[in-house]
């Protein structure tokens, strides 16, 4: 039996997801819609993906008993979170499960310096940086030449967490102290014109398809708005971004969905920021605006189904819905935003992740506006931001 048929709905083999967040939840929904049963391994008993899954194993990602149960029930395993131990993915692959993304690629994405080396070896430009692992490195001329910069922990950073803007050597030294002297990279602070991302999917046979280039607006280090088609991206830049993403997927012998985030600099140059070995927040619009979503692509790559080029059928604007929206007044109790007012606008698709407790800075859901034209999508999205009390973009 081939891996692909082992994971087909007819054999009742379940698919496994490591991680319980909203990305896992949207994968579960896509897989279930196509007849699969899904098991989620996630320690949190109340996770968005666990609540949607057919089966939830509440244990650590490396729990031996849980992994034995997963192996017995599932033919294929994917992740929705890049910080699952890559050794677990390796173990499951050796046990004969179809595993995507591959363990080695996940390991690269878990460490900013490894990731940058991978960019450079694939010929993909990235920000000048230095690895900082001891106090003697803080004063080197190479490090000084990168200031003003952004100090980022080498591992476990997300949504701008584990980062500090540093202008001087003294600020760098105190920021590194404050981070607990852990392994960090210092990146030169680059003059950004705007940010974009590209999502590619690569199949076991090496076929690569991609979603259209997305333009992303971040606020406080967190994605706030994604627009597709990307309004400010020249065609050559878009082509270069797609070529870089495809080169990286091939270089990593990748199977699955891979997102590369890029900076477009004031002088027009394209610089890779980071990559995620999974679907990405900037690809959520594809659920409502493309004929194949990023989660469909994750499913197809996992079970060995064919990849067809996704087609954007509607211009789209995605707005992230953060927990702050539940607290319009400082100090007040949480109140649900006025969804009916927003849903009265045409082409609004509301996605909430089933998180019971809204908190400031927590991703609670997103909203995608689709329309017949770019101008209309933007106009409706701006009306939605006004109704929700979000800043315009």
Which residues in this chain contact Mg ion in the complex, by CB under 5 A? 261
User: Omega into 148 within 30° of 0, i.e. cis?
Assistant: yes
Smallest gap from residue 114 Cβ to ligand ATP (A): 14
Contacts of 158 (CB under 8 A, 6+ apart): none
Tell me whether residue 221 or residue 231 sits nearer to ligand ATP (CB atom): 221
- Name the token pair of 247: 């080169």
Sheet with 149-153, side-by-side order of all strands: 129-132, 184-188, 149-153, 163-166
Strand duo 55-57 + 38-41: pairing: parallel
The helix or strand, by DSSP H or E, that contains position 196, with its residue range, turns out to be strand 192-202
Smallest gap from residue 68 Cβ to Mg ion (A): 35
Smallest gap from residue 87 Cβ to ligand ATP (A): 22
Tell me whether residue 355 or residue 363 sits nearer to ligand ATP (CB atom): 363
Smallest gap from residue 383 Cβ to ligand ATP (A): 26
Answer yes or no whether residue 159 interacts with ligand ATP by CB under 6 A.
yes
Q: Which of ligand ATP, Mg ion, none binds 195 (CB below 5-8 Å, type-dependent)?
A: ligand ATP
Question: C-alpha angle 328/319/302, rounded to 5°?
Answer: 130
Smallest gap from residue 166 Cβ to ligand ATP (A): 11
Among 274, 277, 284, 301, binds ligand ATP (CB under 6 A): 274
Smallest gap from residue 308 Cβ to Mg ion (A): 28
Tell me whether residue 158 or residue 305 sits nearer to ligand ATP (CB atom): 158
Smallest gap from residue 203 Cβ to ligand ATP (A): 25
| Site size with ligand ATP, rule: CB under 6 A | 19
- From 184-192, 290-298, 300-308, 362-370, give the range in contact with ligand ATP by CB under 6 A: 184-192
The 10 Å Cβ neighbour count of residue 104 is 14
Q: Which of Mg ion, ligand ATP, none binds 150 (CB below 5-8 Å, type-dependent)?
A: ligand ATP
d(Cα 74, Cα 42) in Å, to the nearest integer? 15
Contacts of 154 (CB under 8 A, 6+ apart): 111, 112, 113, 131, 182, 183, 184, 185
User: How far from the centroid of its chain's Cα atoms is residue 95's Cα?
Assistant: 27
Among 91, 114, 218, 362, binds ligand ATP (CB under 6 A): 218
Tell me whether residue 161 or residue 311 sits nearer to ligand ATP (CB atom): 161
Smallest gap from residue 259 Cβ to Mg ion (A): 9
Among 28, 75, 89, 127, binds ligand ATP (CB under 6 A): 127
- From 34-42, 154-162, 224-232, 312-320, give the range in contact with ligand ATP by CB under 6 A: 154-162
User: How far from the centroid of its chain's Cα atoms is residue 344's Cα?
Assistant: 29
Selection from 62, 4, 52, 59 nearest residue 31 by Cα: 52
* 8 A C-beta contact, residue 50 and residue 60: no
Tell me whether residue 39 or residue 105 sits nearer to Mg ion (CB atom): 105
Answer yes or no whether residue 187 interacts with ligand ATP by CB under 6 A.
yes
Q: Which of ligand ATP, Mg ion, none binds 218 (CB below 5-8 Å, type-dependent)?
A: ligand ATP
- From 6-14, 189-197, 203-211, 230-238, give the range in contact with ligand ATP by CB under 6 A: 189-197
Per-residue DSSP letters for 247-290? HHHHHTT--EEEEEEEEEETTS-EEEEEEESS--GGGTTHHHHB
Grouping H, G, I as helix, E, B as strand and the rest as coil, residue 121 is: helix
- Name the token pair of 73: 């029930």
Binding site for ligand ATP (CB under 6 A): 127, 150, 152, 157-161, 163, 187, 189-190, 192, 195, 218, 221, 261, 273-274
């Amino acid at each position: 039996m081939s891996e692909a048929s082992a994971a087909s709905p007819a054999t009742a083999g379940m698919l496994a997801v490591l991680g319980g967040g909203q990305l896992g939840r949207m994968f579960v929904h896509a897989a279930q819609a196509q007849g699969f049963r899904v098991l989620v391994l996630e320690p949190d008993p109340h996770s968005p993906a666990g609540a949607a899954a057919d089966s939830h194993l509440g244990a650590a990602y490396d729990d031996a008993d849980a992994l034995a149960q997963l192996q017995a029930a599932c033919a294929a395993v994917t992740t929705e979170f890049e910080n699952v131990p890559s050794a677990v993915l390796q173990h499951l692959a050796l046990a004969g499960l179809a595993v995507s993304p591959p363990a080695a690629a996940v390991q690269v994405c878990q460490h900013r310096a490894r990731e940058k080396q991978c960019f450079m070896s694939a010929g993909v430009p990235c920000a000048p940086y230095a690895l900082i692992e001891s106090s003697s490195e803080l004063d080197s001329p190479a490090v000084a030449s990168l200031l003003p910069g952004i100090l980022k922990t080498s591992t476990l950073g997300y949504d701008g967490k584990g980062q500090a803007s540093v202008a001087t050597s003294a600020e760098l030294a105190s920021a590194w102290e404050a981070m607990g002297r852990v392994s960090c990279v210092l990146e030169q602070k680059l003059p950004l014109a705007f940010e974009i991302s590209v999502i590619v999917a690569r199949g076991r046979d090496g076929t690569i398809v991609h979603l259209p280039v997305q333009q992303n607006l971040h606020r406080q280090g967190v994605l706030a708005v994604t627009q597709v088609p990307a309004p400010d991206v020249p065609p050559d830049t878009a082509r270069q971004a797609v070529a870089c993403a495809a080169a990286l997927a091939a270089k990593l012998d990748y199977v699955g969905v891979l997102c590369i985030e890029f900076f477009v600099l004031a002088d027009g140059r394209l610089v890779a920021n980071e990559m995620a070995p999974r679907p990405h927040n900037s690809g959520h619009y594809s659920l409502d605006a493309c004929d194949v979503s990023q989660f469909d692509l994750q499913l197809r790559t996992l079970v060995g189904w064919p990849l067809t080029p996704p087609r954007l059928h509607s211009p789209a604007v995605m707005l992230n819905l953060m927990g702050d929206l539940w607290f319009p007044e400082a100090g007040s109790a949480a109140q649900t935003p006025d969804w009916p007012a927003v849903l009265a606008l045409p082409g609004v698709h509301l996605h909430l992740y089933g998180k019971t407790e809204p908190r400031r800075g927590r991703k609670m859901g997103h909203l995608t506006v689709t329309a017949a034209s770019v101008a209309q999508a933007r106009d409706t999205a701006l009306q939605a931001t006004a109704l929700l009390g979000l800043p315009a973009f």
